[in-house]
Structure 1
Amino acid sequence: MPETTTAVLGKMGGMEAHRLRGSLLAGAIGDALGAATEFDSMDRIRELTGPDGITDFLSAYGGEGRFTDDTQMTLFTLEALIRAHSQQRRTGDADVVHSLQLAYQRWLHTQGVPWVQARGPRSPAPAPDGHLITQGELFSRRAPGLTCFGELEEYGRSGLRGGVERPVNNSKGCGGVMRVAPVALWSDELGEVFGLAAEAAALTHGHPSGYLPAGTFAVVVHELLIGKPLLDAVSTARAELVRHPGHEETDVALEQALAAPGPPTPERLEALGQGNVGETALSMSVYVALNCGDAESALLASVNHGGDSDSTGSVCGNLVGAMYGEQALPSRWLDRLELREVITGLADDAVAEFGPDAPSGDRWSTLYPVD
């Protein structure tokens, strides 16, 4: 798989803004729904919530509707794409993977790592810049994955960037797939979308089942954003997936998801895995999205199991939000969702940047500066 380093101007094309907003918001809602019970057994969940399991936000990280590192990193992914695309327009050249790396280093700084250690030797910036880093609520440590955290710290020391051709480790944890839904925007070329999402995940996760699910996921989201049915989107993504070495685990996991009976129950969901590795985070989320008829039931089903509930909630939320759009999300969750306005504002800025009349001027370059 060739490394994706030069931006290709993406286009909103047939993508609908309400679907992008929906994908980001539903991902954050699913993340928040599962945040308090990550890896708790269903017996424990029912002790906390009652026989129906999770039906609403539980208090986590000091309040209700608060999401984890999954959504934090997803927002930094989208900011990186806006910055790289804007840089391409302004200068004619941009290294989007570098922009992603620096965005994740800014996220690392929000987790308590001093900027001089987090930024890495390739960045001369005396302080982190751009719009997202000014959101004080993001400066909160929400159980970040050890692999993500450790590899970003290592980049801060060495400046050596991981990738598909330079694996940084042998991890296939779900920390790669859970943050890449926004890569769906980058291009109308599905191979480009797949490759960039895989490279984004490979910055921290070096096993093929750590980065190939990310590529697959981004293609599925891309297809959903332009209104394709989920089964067709998965089929399209699998056709791209099988072109890449090491695809077998991810493809088998998706086949199992497609064949599993519905409706989803905790037991049926747990038969597919725990969601803590790339291929099962994706397959469990696809299974739920396929077997629920609306966003609300899918979000609840995606977090009612004994595994990595915030990650499956986040990934499934990205899918069903793109499927049904912002208007399908319950107001009782949207009204209490942390940083709702920041999420929708970032989505709207992405629509503007990737649209036919992209903004210019000092304000835009301050919000989304050149990396």
Structure 2
Amino acid sequence: MGATAGAVWGRAEQQDFRSRVRGTLLGTAVGDALGTPLDGLTLAEIRQEYGAEGLNDLAVGRDRRGAVTHLTQLTLFTLDGLVRAQVRRDTGAWHPPTDLHRAYRRWAATQSDWGPDERRKDDGWLAREEWLYARRDPARACLTGFGDETMGTLDAPKNPGEPGPEAAARSAPFGLLVGWEPQLVLQLAVECAAQTHGHPTAYLAAGAYAVIVHALARGESLDSAVQRALAILAARPGQEPVSDALQHALGAVRQGMPSPARVEDLAGEGTAERLLAVAVYCALVGEDIRHGLCLAVNHGGRSAVAGALTGGLLGALHGETALPPAWLAELEGRPTMLVLADDFAMEMTQGPALHGPGASSPGWLARYPRA
């Protein structure tokens, strides 16, 4: 489906792609929201609060059920930046990492401003969504990485000692570039991750995650998707910790019934490659999406990140209709997510009809300005 740029999309292919885009975005957000109330708790504290089986439903986090964190916020701006990059391609200015950096800078403004600034006409519609102007414990690396106009690169990354998982957790949208070759998907995700997380394991984990989502969005199985990521990683310097973590996740699948203890073993100290391993493991062994997500968050580690990463995989694999509807009904910002997901799907499948040298839709360019 859409294996090459400029491919002709049939109606069934467009519908399948839109479902996977929605599933990836909503799955990331649902996993984030499910895990948020557990962040900072030990497994014993989780069981004391929610019972022997742990948390099995959305709970109150940040004063409401279904609240999301900066992980979801940044995922939204990743998707927005990718649309803007496609639109700006008409101008001949084709450098997606720069467009993504501008999108992330718009997110950074939501963390410091009281609300949307109507004077910034080129911000586009997403930056005018008032619910996004809520500071949800953003990682320090994200604030410092996007705190000024200087863009981190692989040659000069921001926070070069930061191995955390936040860059990976915002990288699922790169995998939705199904018309790109997987090597290019990995490269873009890696370059954008280095804007905040300059440690090789952090940005390579982000790249591997994007490649796995990419394979899932193109209809491959999860096991096949992981094998594809491992093959592409093999040529990258410094990839050994990420590859080892993924192999550890695959091996854990064969070690008996899944348990929080096994998840905690995979999670380790909560670095990017270890949380990626948790997501792969939970998505593989979960009896269904609900079980996989609950397994991912019920441990004494980075529950929101683990949930977000796992949700992105399961959403890309199964599409939006497989996600628990009761959870979606309470998800913060769901209307915004649906609009953005559908806009992304339309841009990727019908972009030339929306903007180009011949004719452009004024409404589309007002939503996603070229400037």
- The alignment's TM-score, normalised by the length of structure 2, stands at 0.90
Measure how far apart 1:62 and its partner are. 1.8
Measure how far apart 1:17 and its partner are. 1.5
Amino acid at match of 1:308: R
Q: Is 2:109 the partner of 1:109?
A: yes
> Cα gap change, 1:114/1:29 in structure 2, threshold over 3 Å: closer, same or farther?
closer
2:69–2:137 CA contact under 8 A, matched in 1 = yes
Measure how far apart 1:356 and its partner are. 3.5
Segment drifting more, 257-266 vs 9-18: 9-18
- Correspondence list, 1:90-101, <5 A: 90-101=90-101
**2:357 aligned residue:** none
1:253–1:280 CA contact under 8 A, matched in 2 = yes
Q: Is 2:38 the partner of 1:37?
A: yes
- Correspondence list, 1:257-336, <5 A: 257-260=249-252, 261-274=255-268, 276-336=270-330
**1:249 aligned residue:** 241
1:181–1:217 CA contact under 8 A, matched in 2 = yes
- C-alpha deviations, 1:160-219, integer Å up to 9, x for none? 221222222221111110001001133421111000000110101111101001111111
Q: Structure 1 unaligned runs (5+)?
A: 1-7, 120-124
Measure how far apart 1:128 and its partner are. 6.1
> Cα gap change, 1:135/1:248 in structure 2, threshold over 3 Å: closer, same or farther?
same
Q: Secondary structure at the match of 1:272?
A: helix
- Separation of aligned partners in 1, 2:175 and 2:156: 23
Segment drifting more, 22-31 vs 273-282: 273-282
- C-alpha deviations, 1:17-60, integer Å up to 9, x for none? 11111111111000000111113101111121111111111111
> Cα gap change, 1:160/1:11 in structure 2, threshold over 3 Å: closer, same or farther?
farther
Match of 1:194 among 186, 194, 219: 186
Match of 1:181 among 172, 176, 192: 172
> Cα gap change, 1:226/1:183 in structure 2, threshold over 3 Å: closer, same or farther?
same
- Separation of aligned partners in 2, 1:100 and 1:171: 20
Q: Secondary structure at the match of 1:355?
A: helix
**1:75 aligned residue:** 76
Amino acid at match of 1:257: A
- Separation of aligned partners in 2, 1:309 and 1:191: 29
**2:135 aligned residue:** 141
1:12–1:354 CA contact under 8 A, matched in 2 = no
- C-alpha deviations, 1:120-150, integer Å up to 9, x for none? xxxxx85661111111110001110011112
- C-alpha deviations, 1:224-245, integer Å up to 9, x for none? 0111000000001111111111
Amino acid at match of 1:38: D
**1:214 aligned residue:** 206
Amino acid at match of 1:150: T
Amino acid at match of 1:166: A
- Separation of aligned partners in 1, 2:329 and 2:314: 19
> Cα gap change, 1:243/1:113 in structure 2, threshold over 3 Å: closer, same or farther?
farther
**1:352 aligned residue:** 346
Measure how far apart 1:361 and its partner are. 1.2
The size of the alignment, in residue pairs, is 351
- Separation of aligned partners in 1, 2:297 and 2:308: 9
- The alignment's TM-score, normalised by the length of structure 1, stands at 0.90
Q: Is 2:126 the partner of 1:132?
A: yes
Q: Secondary structure at the match of 1:16?
A: helix
- Separation of aligned partners in 2, 1:351 and 1:142: 28
**1:364 aligned residue:** 364
- Separation of aligned partners in 2, 1:348 and 1:146: 31
- C-alpha deviations, 1:74-116, integer Å up to 9, x for none? 000000000101111x32332211111111111111111589x
- C-alpha deviations, 1:307-358, integer Å up to 9, x for none? 0000000000000111111111111101111111111111110110000454
- Separation of aligned partners in 2, 1:343 and 1:263: 35
Q: Secondary structure at the match of 2:100?
A: helix
- Separation of aligned partners in 2, 1:203 and 1:127: 25
- Separation of aligned partners in 1, 2:293 and 2:319: 14
- Separation of aligned partners in 2, 1:152 and 1:300: 32
> Cα gap change, 1:282/1:178 in structure 2, threshold over 3 Å: closer, same or farther?
same
CA-based RMSD of the aligned residues comes to 2.0
**1:4 aligned residue:** none
- C-alpha deviations, 1:248-277, integer Å up to 9, x for none? 000000010000124321101001124732
- C-alpha deviations, 1:282-315, integer Å up to 9, x for none? 1110011111132111111111110000000000
> Cα gap change, 1:199/1:12 in structure 2, threshold over 3 Å: closer, same or farther?
farther
Q: Structure 2 unaligned runs (5+)?
A: 355-359
**2:65 aligned residue:** 64
